[in-house]
Chain A
């Protein structure tokens, strides 16, 4: 059966190429300009975008893994899109090394002068120190790269050999990855995002970051899938695939709200000063509007916009919602990182929110690299896993 399926070969359009290079160039220029003119600001911006695209890339591998674990047949035709996301992981490794270079500008616990007078940070030094931080960040990314190489590599190998055993191997690998991912991504988010304010802690922080990862990752996947459905994969992706992805996005929009509120409720109830400071910072001086925008923009608006059945199927509508969710995901990480700018640990209220070309430029830079990595992967490999044993299930996917 597999032989008579003719899968079109993907080619990056000239327009995409232009966008990729312009974005990457803008990012590089913003970065270089910022390094000389406003290094602290540009490193904050770098951290936000770095974490954003690391999460998107990982979401690809996570999505592939849960589909292997659940023996899902319906998603086989879509699988190359999340697999392509993992092609960004090598860039994440380079990005992390760059982040480590600029870490002094971001993390107050790396500054001996601050640590010397700060008892709370002194108590955490055995975990929050330069050597261990570098080791963890690099080790986590290498682990992800290893799993991505194995899981996606098996999938690509199957395109050639059609060996069913590769599917069974991927099941075991995926179970391993889910365990590794849960631990490593939690700690990664704690190390890179939460420790920007080393006094504050929230035990649900890793889950919060994951909720954002999956919501935004699904939105990005849907955008790619819709683009492929409109052209290359017209006969391979049907409305029910889109409907299922829409339901996924809808479900994990609710999941995000659930986790975000859980974090808020417990901190509000317990009323411990070290914990409430996080929300106090984010409910004054203009930040209250950013906080409220998360409630509405990341939950209520996408929830209502995706609630009816037609909304999860209609390409035009879904695209707008996905772009919206992706924008709100940036606002979320911005909201986590930026209130600490210039006010690290001295207990003062944050400056009013600032947002201009420093944030947009760096974001575009990462976006360019991400699009480049994903497009290159799709160009290099078959657009659907042509010899997957469950391919026929996906071909005739019907709700």
Chain B
């Protein structure tokens, strides 16, 4: 499994302040930091400077693959390997195959999207170190990892203090 990354975490009072803190942290040049909140916060992606996810591309190309596979497979089974005359229609009857093509497009697209989501999120994590159990119900935090360019714990701590963190701790996450 992936190794854990240590860093500095600062607790912020509420979601609005966390959003402002994320904007300031991004403006201060931090790029690898993460925000932790019990619920999704509107506008957080933009505040953290996160780009768009790569998942739509995975979905699109997986869907195309599913569609092509369906076309090949229906052709191979119905017209090549085991041709059966159904109602006098041609062996290769595209209208009859469209539902199968459609279903396989959806199947490949959906499963690949979920798979890509797991990989991109680094899930599943087995017993990650817990910063604070309350982060899943009532607390908000901003985490600066040691992988950050020009990272030093002191610098990160003073930055977190400057953006109004109430409680600052050195921890390991991920």
A residues with CB within 8 A of B: 261, 264-265, 268-269, 271, 307-309, 398-399
Contact = CB atoms under 8 A, between A and B. Distances in A.
Contacts of A398: 42-43
Given A309-B52, A398-B42, A398-B43, A268 B95 contact: yes
A269 B52 contact: no
B56 interface: yes
Contacts of B98: 261, 265
B60 A307 contact: yes
B87 interface: yes
B95 A309 contact: no
B94 to A, nearest CB: 10
Secondary structure at chain B's binding surface: helix, strand, loop or mixed?
helix
Question: Which secondary structure dominates chain A's binding surface?
Answer: helix
Nearest to B93: A268
Contacts, number: 18
Interface string B40-63: 001100000000100010001000
Given A271-B87, A398-B42, A265 B95 contact: yes
Nearest to B42: A398
Contacts of A399: 42
18 contacts: A261-B98, A264-B95, A265-B95, A265-B96, A265-B98, A265-B99, A268-B95, A269-B87, A269-B95, A269-B96, A271-B87, A307-B60, A308-B56, A309-B52, A309-B56, A398-B42, A398-B43, A399-B42
A268 B56 CA distance: 34
A-B residue pairs, 10 tightest by C-beta: A398-B42, A268-B95, A265-B95, A261-B98, A264-B95, A271-B87, A398-B43, A309-B52, A265-B98, A269-B96
Contacts of B87: 269, 271
Nearest to A264: B95
A265 B99 CA distance: 9
Interface string B18-58: 00000000000000000000000011000000001000100
Contacts of B60: 307
A244 to B, nearest CB: 14
B88 to A, nearest CB: 8
Contacts of B43: 398
Contacts of B42: 398-399
A137 to B, nearest CB: 34
Nearest to B99: A265
Contacts of A308: 56
A307 B57 CA distance: 11
A265 B52 CA distance: 38
Nearest to A258: B102
Interface string B72-116: 000000000000000100000001101100000000000000000
A340 B12 CA distance: 71
A308 B99 CA distance: 24
A398 B41 CA distance: 11
A304 to B, nearest CB: 10
